Amino acid sequence: MSKISRRDFLQRSAMAAAAFTIAPNTILGKSHGHVAPTDKLNIAAVGIGGMGHANINAVKKTENIVALCDVDWKYAAGVFNEFPNAKKYWDWRKMYDEMGKDFDAVIVATADHTHCIIAATAMTLGKHVYVQKPLTHSVYESRLLTKLAEKYKVATQMGNQGASNPGVRQTCDWIWAGEIGEVTRVDCGTNRPIWPQGLPTPNGQWVPDTLNWDLFTGPAKLVPYNEVYHPWNWRGWWAYGTGALGDMACHVMHPIFKALQLGYPTKVQGSSTMLLSDCAPTAQSIKLTFPARASKDKKCKIKLPEVEVRWTDGGITPDIPKGFPADKQLDIDGPVIFHGTKDTLICGCYGRDPWLLSGRKPKSPKTQREITVSHEMDWVRACKESPESRVKTASDFSEAGPFNEMVVMGVLAVRLQGLHKELLWDGPNMNFTNISDTDTVEIVTKDKFTVKDGHPTFARDTEKLNAKEFAAEMIKHHYRAGWSLPQMP
């Protein structure tokens, strides 16, 4: 008797049923890109040594882990051993080619610069995707994932797990009910980086036998390997990560973006400690201005005026508001302060433990869907629902994509600070309107500061770049040969 796969069996069953009656797709088991609620998802994962492992652990009890991919087989060894029946890969492209018919969904937890290409390709194959934060490395990539998710009707989730927690929902409830009035300014930040940043570009080293450095580099420019880049420390290097902002803003800023129903900023400005060409600075501050906007939800009872969102990191914390209780402290991991015309709302990272400066504890109407499972399992739930009736996840790409554009916009503001002006942003067209063809920015390539016999010597090697071209490259990266994104729908 010949063996058939689970997918073949379900597809044949659906075809047989269709021959006798016309029935909704939802009762025919697996078809049209979704899985019956009683069935198990077959999941592939790319980037499994760090947060990818945590995401896998969140779904492994109820779903099937069928394929695992990582560029560092030493770092990933424990996860490979945990799932001996899952097929192992170095290259996600080969995994897609060989096993594309055998999995339904993909978890992506690689370095920031490869999130988009892995997820975008999966979506064009009809696969559901869970992508770690920040969603992408650039504005264009965020826009692309938003559009692809809409086109292919797959279930999506960004890995900012606080989006599924009650604190974000409570923040929205209070603000939408008008408990703090209209909000015109929000201060937020993080104590990160807790890893070294502001570092000089290192010399090359031999690549370990267990690491495929070419595949780690992916679409970025190939440079000599150094252990300071990988594992984990890649987040502080511009080619692969987005610094402390990209690491934490998707957690810290989500209640701001959601509660205030933000869209594209119109003005951005950034500053930092010494700005290097290759490594993110040790501390930075960013201001994003969003225009007045109409509410998209009838449950929101307030006006949404122009608002400034200010971010600080590297140990620089927001100013403590007047009247702050002596027995309380700001959550230094990710404090958020909503300054309203009637009251001040304060919460921590992930929207944790919101409270009002007045001390009131209002009972406002519930405006958000309650989520009682993990962030990952809510995505699994969405994967098993048909596109027509699917309830969106808490960080579906329809929200996470535009939100992530806000986050990486902060990176643009910092890296273009040498223009010494507030930058005007045309969100729909993804470009700055007040950078001229002749504007330049000067960036430090090497800090040569020395002290000899008690006397300091200040010297730096710098590079002068055309600002318009530099900005365009950061907005939409040019991938190296052999790597390309799907077309923008």
As a whole number of angstroms, the distance between CA 444 and CA 81 comes to 44
CB-based contacts of 315-323 (< 8 A; 24+ apart in sequence): 315/191, 315/283, 316/189, 316/283, 316/285, 317/189, 317/191, 318/187, 318/188, 318/189, 319/187, 321/346, 321/357, 323/357
pLDDT value at position 419? 97
Q: Where are the alpha helices (DSSP H) in 161-307?
A: 166-176, 213-217, 243-252, 254-259
pLDDT value at position 4? 44
Residue whose tokens read 């980037």: 47
Q: CB-based burial of residue 226 (10 Å sphere; 0-12 exposed, 13-18 middle, 19+ buried)?
A: middle
E strand or H helix that includes residue 431: strand 431-432
The rounded percent of the chain whose pLDDT value lies above 90 is 84
Q: Are 389 and 34 in contact (CB under 8 A)?
A: no
pLDDT tens for 225-274 read: 999 999 888 999 999 999 999 999 999 999 999 999 999 999 999 999 99
E strand or H helix that includes residue 19: helix 6-20
pLDDT value at position 195? 87
pLDDT tens for 176-197 read: 999 999 999 999 999 999 888 9
How much is the pTM? 0.91
Q: Both tokens of residue 109?
A: 């937890």
As a whole number of angstroms, the distance between CA 133 and CA 426 comes to 24
pLDDT tens for 419-471 read: 999 999 999 999 999 999 999 999 998 888 888 888 888 888 889 999 999 99
The gap from C-alpha 453 to its chain's centroid, in whole angstroms, comes to: 48
As a whole number of angstroms, the distance between CA 430 and CA 405 comes to 10
As a whole number of angstroms, the distance between CA 108 and CA 132 comes to 6
Q: Is residue 1 scored above 70 in pLDDT?
A: no
Q: Strand pairing of 42-46 and 64-69?
A: parallel
Beta strands in 109-207 (DSSP E): 128-131, 156-158, 183-189
Residues in contact with 30: Cβ distance below 8 Å, sequence separation at least 6, in sequence order: 6, 7, 10, 11, 14, 36, 39, 104
Q: Both tokens of residue 198?
A: 């502001």
pLDDT value at position 6? 42
pLDDT tens for 117-132 read: 999 999 999 999 999 9
Task: State the DSSP code for 38.
Answer: T
Say how many Å lie between the first and final Cα of the chain, rounded: 45
Q: Are 420 and 439 in contact (CB under 8 A)?
A: no
Task: State the DSSP code for 432.
Answer: E
pLDDT value at position 27? 30
Given strand 431-432, what is the order of strands in its sheet? 355-356, 344-347, 336-340, 183-189, 307-312, 284-290, 267-272, 423-426, 431-432
Q: Is residue 12 scored above 90 in pLDDT?
A: no
Q: Are 352 and 331 in contact (CB under 8 A)?
A: yes
Average pLDDT, the chain: 92
Secondary structure (DSSP) of 189-204:
E-S---S--SPPPPPP
Q: Are 206 and 352 in contact (CB under 8 A)?
A: no
Q: Are 311 and 410 in contact (CB under 8 A)?
A: yes
CATH level 3 topology of 6-163+375-395: Rossmann fold (3.40.50)
Mean pLDDT of 88-100: 98
